[in-house]
Structure 1
Amino acid sequence: MTSPTSQTSSTSPTAPSAPRPRAVQALRTAARALGRCAVLTALVPVGVGLCVTYLASFVLWGCLGIFPLFPLATRMLRAAAGAARWASGHWSQVPVPVPYQPRPALERTLHGWFWTGHDYHRNRRFAALALTLRWMWTDPATWRDALWAISDPLVGGAIAATPVLLAAAGLYGLGQPLVPYDLPLGGWPAVLLGPVLVAGGLALSRSALHLHGRWTRSVLGPTERTRLARRVEQLTEIRLDATEAQAAELRRIERDLHDGAQARLVAVSLRLGAVAALIDRDPEHAKKVVADAQENVTQALQELRDLVRGIHPPVLAERGLADGVRALALDVPLKVDVRAELRGRAEAPVESAVYFAVSEALTNAVKHGEARHAAVELTHAAGLLRAEVTDDGRGGADPDRGSGLRGIQRRLAVFDGTLTVTSPPGGPTRLIMELPCALSSPRTSSS
């Protein structure tokens, strides 16, 4: 181990060079942003061609009744808008939610006709085409995509092209010949201004990229009306899921009581009834019956405790989420490291939701992931309670295929929580659960 003096002497010579990696990193970030602005600028002609195609399909349908080109052009436009949303979220760090309404299902009447929401059709293919046209035509996002296709080559193209043109002009100036008599008139100012223009283009690239993302979100993002409609649909689904989950939980409790504690208590009642007849005639046998009844009562009490623990664990109610998860980790057949940084207690329903979500995640790690080690981290920051569960299992977890992960999603969605799953084949699996909540002061038990 080095002494404090040697540590000071070894770090002092390298102190002046500490800012250099940050400068290099900033230069790389600016160059990357400038390259992305160049890509967006190069795609402007593609946007112009797409805009012309879409307007032509609209004119052909509205004036000549030639409609097959309109759904094809709309799908192309939606694909381009989806790419713009992806670039805004991944390049500009401005996420843009998808605003499209879900495609309605084709309904068939008892008489064999297909209802498209406007009229009836006998032919299924024609009815599906009519339904698609009506869905695209009545979706406000379709016309916002059209507005984006018309305006983005002008507005978005100008935003992305500004730093690119500055850097290109600077590189052109730096590329001028340095021999005085070969230099054209006005060449020397270009040579002198070249580094300034390149530096200006790099300096503006990140701001321009972020501004381009905000422009994309303002045009391609969902409107307030769409957000409210989607929120109503989400709350309706959450209410249905919560109702189904509550009904399933009540059925489970009833089944456990009927098959477990209730059956044992009935057996105890029958045995105690037999004791009254045996106590005078065969005392030894009566003692055995009483001992058997006592054992059944003990098992019934244990089953009732397990049932109560499955509804709301006592350690969770008495000591909070952190200690509840630590106690849960002791019952899991794998090594679990728990790290908690919580400066208070959340509401009891929120703690219960996170507790059972972590329990389900650890159960999946053992049952499906074949993990040997797991880690649970509980934190709270910026009004979000965050629970992260990581295991070294085989990975491949998918919420679309696993009922356990869907159950976690439904449990968290009741509290506007989210579940993010990262589980590549071969592992590791990482589950991030976030719930908006506030923490109160820590509670202490009376004991």
Structure 2
Amino acid sequence: MTRDLGRLALGAAIGLPAPLLLALVLLSAPATLLGGLGLVLFAAAVWLVRRLAGLQRDRFEVPRPYRSMPSGVLPRARALLQDPATWRDLAWLLSQFALGVAGVAVGFGLWQAALQCLTAPLLRALLPGRTGFDPAVLEFTHRSAALAWLLVPVGVGLVFLAYRAPGLLLETQTRLARALLGPTAKARLSASVEHLTATRAAAVDASAAELRRIERDLHDGAQVRLVALRMNIGLAEHVIDADPDTAKALMAEAKASAGTALAELRDLVRGIHPPVLADRGLAGAVQALALSSAVPVGLDLRLERRLSAPVESAAYFALAESLANAIRHSGAGTIRIIVIDEVHRLTMTVCDDGRGGADAGKGTGLQGIRRRLSAFDGTLRIASPAGGPTTLTMRLPCAS
């Protein structure tokens, strides 16, 4: 109850600057297109309105709907004028002013009225005569003692209303914030299209980079081995009659080259889609990763079904890259991997007790994980304070 009253008071405080800011915006907006002082006043007013709206969004977990701003003072001011979110913020602030003041008046007024009604007989006894500062309830209690006692059950009802009213008033403020401060359906659609375009472009870039890697590995590895193999076999063919010992040496070298080429091709295929992933699923593949790790890895795998092949592949390589990063950079003594199938999404967590300080902006490993997940509308969250520990939380949609 006290917490709700405090939140009502905070909502009223957020809405109090509304008349001043609204007047400032309306007076300065026409002059903004011409620049000068009007531009400065408009920018300052909109900045303050957005800060207040940001406080309310944080209170009720409402996403921000603002458009990206161009460079330059005048283009930025014109973009603010043309952004529907600017005017929706103003409409919200004016409504919040009315709701906030009304909420505080009702929330605290009900408790005051309930207290006066509950103590009406006592007030009548303590203040039998009229003074200049009588509570409003004494207008009734001075008339008769029976009426004073009848106000007691009324006070009980007011206590119930006073207990419930703040929650209802806060719910009204929440609905108002989500209606006016959240992105519109058009804005959400536009943001979804932009996100889809960006993630698909990242997926195409990642696929192209993967193809280049495969081409490079084939060119520099297996292809070189196979060329050497062909040359050795050709030389052995020419000298086999004249110098059998040399031919045998060349064939032995060719055999070794064939074995090396075969091993490189297997590693390459394993990098494209590990056989253990196809045979045993994600759980078995992650167990294989843990067994081959140079650092002890604890596993908590809650997988009751096979996921689609693309999702399993993305999840496996994200976990493999996360594990490799932890081993290579964190200096960790232990690593823990948690994989939970939540029906509609897969949540993967990789924790290590290393030195911390992991930053996606400082290396390509975490960026690669984020790109791989974004192709499936997945997300990566990094918590890595200096001194550790580091926790990577990856979420991947996997609807049945």
- Cα drift, residue 352 of structure 1: 0.8
Q: Which 10-residue stretch deviates more, 278-287 or 241-250?
A: 278-287
Residue from 29, 52, 60 that aligns with 1:80: 52
Q: How far apart in 2 are the matches of 1:363 and 1:176?
A: 74
- Cα drift, residue 32 of structure 1: 3.2
Partner of 2:222: 261
Matched, 1:368 2:329: yes
Q: How far apart in 1 are the matches of 2:311 and 2:184?
A: 31
Asked if structure 2 preserves the Cα contact closer than 8 Å seen for 1:168 and 1:198, the reply is: no
Instruction: Look up the SS of the partner of 2:350 in the other structure.
Output: strand
Q: Which 10-residue stretch deviates more, 165-174 or 310-319?
A: 165-174
Q: How far apart in 1 are the matches of 2:392 and 2:168?
A: 33
- Cα drift, residue 219 of structure 1: 0.5
Identity of aligned pairs, percent? Answer: 45
- Cα drift, residue 153 of structure 1: 0.9
Asked if structure 2 preserves the Cα contact closer than 8 Å seen for 1:159 and 1:211, the reply is: no
Flag the structure with higher helix content: 2
Partner of 1:104: 70
Residue from 27, 31, 42 that aligns with 1:56: 27
Q: How far apart in 1 are the matches of 2:22 and 2:285?
A: 58
Instruction: Look up the SS of the partner of 2:75 in the other structure.
Output: helix
Partner of 2:272: 311
Partner of 2:251: 290
Aligned residue pairs total: 382
Q: How far apart in 2 are the matches of 1:286 and 1:161?
A: 102
Q: How far apart in 2 are the matches of 1:427 and 1:161?
A: 49
Q: Which amino acid aligns with 2:85?
A: A
Q: How far apart in 1 are the matches of 2:313 and 2:113?
A: 61
Q: Which amino acid aligns with 2:307?
A: A
Listed as ranges, the matches of 1:23-34 within 5 Å are: 30-34=1-5
Q: Which amino acid aligns with 2:387?
A: G
Q: How far apart in 2 are the matches of 1:423 and 1:160?
A: 42
- Cα drift, residue 357 of structure 1: 0.9
Q: Which 10-residue stretch deviates more, 378-387 or 264-273?
A: 378-387
Instruction: Look up the SS of the partner of 2:365 in the other structure.
Output: helix
Partner of 1:139: 83
Q: Deviations over 1:186-238 (max 9, x none)?
A: 58888887787566545444454344222201101111111111111111111
Pair 1:397–1:151, CA change in 2 (3 A) = same
Q: How far apart in 1 are the matches of 2:202 and 2:7?
A: 43
Listed as ranges, the matches of 1:196-207 within 5 Å are: 200-207=161-168
Asked if structure 1 preserves the Cα contact closer than 8 Å seen for 2:12 and 2:99, the reply is: no
Asked if structure 1 preserves the Cα contact closer than 8 Å seen for 2:377 and 2:396, the reply is: yes
Listed as ranges, the matches of 1:89-238 within 5 Å are: 89=61, 96-105=62-71, 128-159=72-103, 162-167=106-111, 181-183=125-127, 185=138, 186=141, 200-238=161-199
Listed as ranges, the matches of 1:301-380 within 5 Å are: 301-380=262-341
Partner of 2:15: 44
Partner of 1:67: 39
Asked if structure 2 preserves the Cα contact closer than 8 Å seen for 1:38 and 1:161, the reply is: no
Instruction: Look up the SS of the partner of 2:39 in the other structure.
Output: coil
Asked if structure 2 preserves the Cα contact closer than 8 Å seen for 1:167 and 1:199, the reply is: no
Residue from 406, 409, 416 that aligns with 2:370: 409
Pair 1:256–1:228, CA change in 2 (3 A) = same
Q: Which 10-residue stretch deviates more, 241-250 or 273-282?
A: 273-282
Q: How far apart in 2 are the matches of 1:47 and 1:171?
A: 32
Q: Which amino acid aligns with 1:333?
A: A
Partner of 1:92: none
Q: Deviations over 1:243-299 (max 9, x none)?
A: 111111111000000111111111111111121233233333332222222111111
Pair 1:215–1:257, CA change in 2 (3 A) = same
Q: Deviations over 1:27-60 (max 9, x none)?
A: xxx5434322222223332334333333333366
- Cα drift, residue 435 of structure 1: 2.1
Q: Which amino acid aligns with 1:50?
A: L
Unaligned runs of 5+ in 1: 1-29, 90-95, 106-127, 440-447
Asked if structure 2 preserves the Cα contact closer than 8 Å seen for 1:50 and 1:77, the reply is: yes
- Cα drift, residue 427 of structure 1: 2.0
Asked if structure 2 preserves the Cα contact closer than 8 Å seen for 1:37 and 1:164, the reply is: no
Partner of 1:3: none
Pair 1:144–1:375, CA change in 2 (3 A) = same
Q: How far apart in 2 are the matches of 1:196 and 1:422?
A: 50
Larger Rg, first or second structure (1 or 2): 2
CA RMSD of aligned residues (A): 2.9
Q: Which amino acid aligns with 2:40?
A: P
Instruction: Look up the SS of the partner of 1:102 in the other structure.
Output: coil
Q: Which amino acid aligns with 2:45?
A: A
Pair 1:41–1:333, CA change in 2 (3 A) = same
Q: Deviations over 1:156-215 (max 9, x none)?
A: 554566444434655778899968743563588888877875665454444543442222
Asked if structure 2 preserves the Cα contact closer than 8 Å seen for 1:50 and 1:149, the reply is: no
- Cα drift, residue 328 of structure 1: 1.5
Matched, 1:429 2:390: yes
Partner of 1:115: none
Q: Which amino acid aligns with 1:103?
A: M
Asked if structure 1 preserves the Cα contact closer than 8 Å seen for 2:35 and 2:74, the reply is: no
